[in-house]
Structure 1
Amino acid sequence: MSDVDEVREVLLAKEAELVSSREVLTRPQQDQGSISFGKRIGDGTAMAVDRLSTVTAHDTLGAVLGEVRRALVKLDEGSYGLCDTCGEQILKARLEARPWAVRCLRHS
């Protein structure tokens, strides 16, 4: 198996993981109830914070998913490992730690 095939497998596995995680976050909650705010922190405030955290997590997963999909395109184009911003080689250690990196450290 070539390095490209191994990277593709890792990226496809990460893509599937991210898609699954985002689906979990977008499932309707069983008891959403109404949110009310008062002078004290209560259940409504806690629910609002949980929802904001979920939105943030969903957005973060979406950003990483975009990078994974971009890295897959770069594999097909033959430009995998080159920074999208400056065109310089991305450090091997960075790609080992984050195979979906599409920018060098300077531009990330």
Structure 2
Amino acid sequence: HFFELGGHSLLAMRLISQVRQRMGVELSLADIFAQPELAALAEVVAHAAGSSQQPIVPVSRDQALPLSFAQQRLWFLAQLDGGSAAYHIPAGLRLRGSLDP
């Protein structure tokens, strides 16, 4: 049982992605919640293997997309207090080899 073994919605999304990449089968999150046992989920995958999904193709855009409300809020707060580091996410990286200029 997927959830009894520690599975959760984020791991389910990872499973969906792996099944899509490796098997070319499109599962939904609802499939995993409805069939959390491996044998039942394998049947869903086997039945879905025959169906084909239309690929998602990129669309050209003439202009930038509007900001979401969350993005607008962050932009406004950054304009209000430009020197604040409240939303910075510091990280350290160790790089090896040469970098492209």
TM range (shorter): under 0.3
When normalised by structure 1's length, the TM-score is: 0.23
Q: Which has the higher contact order (CA 8 A, sep 6+)?
A: 1
TM-score by length of 2: 0.24
**Greater share of helix residues, 1 or 2?**
1
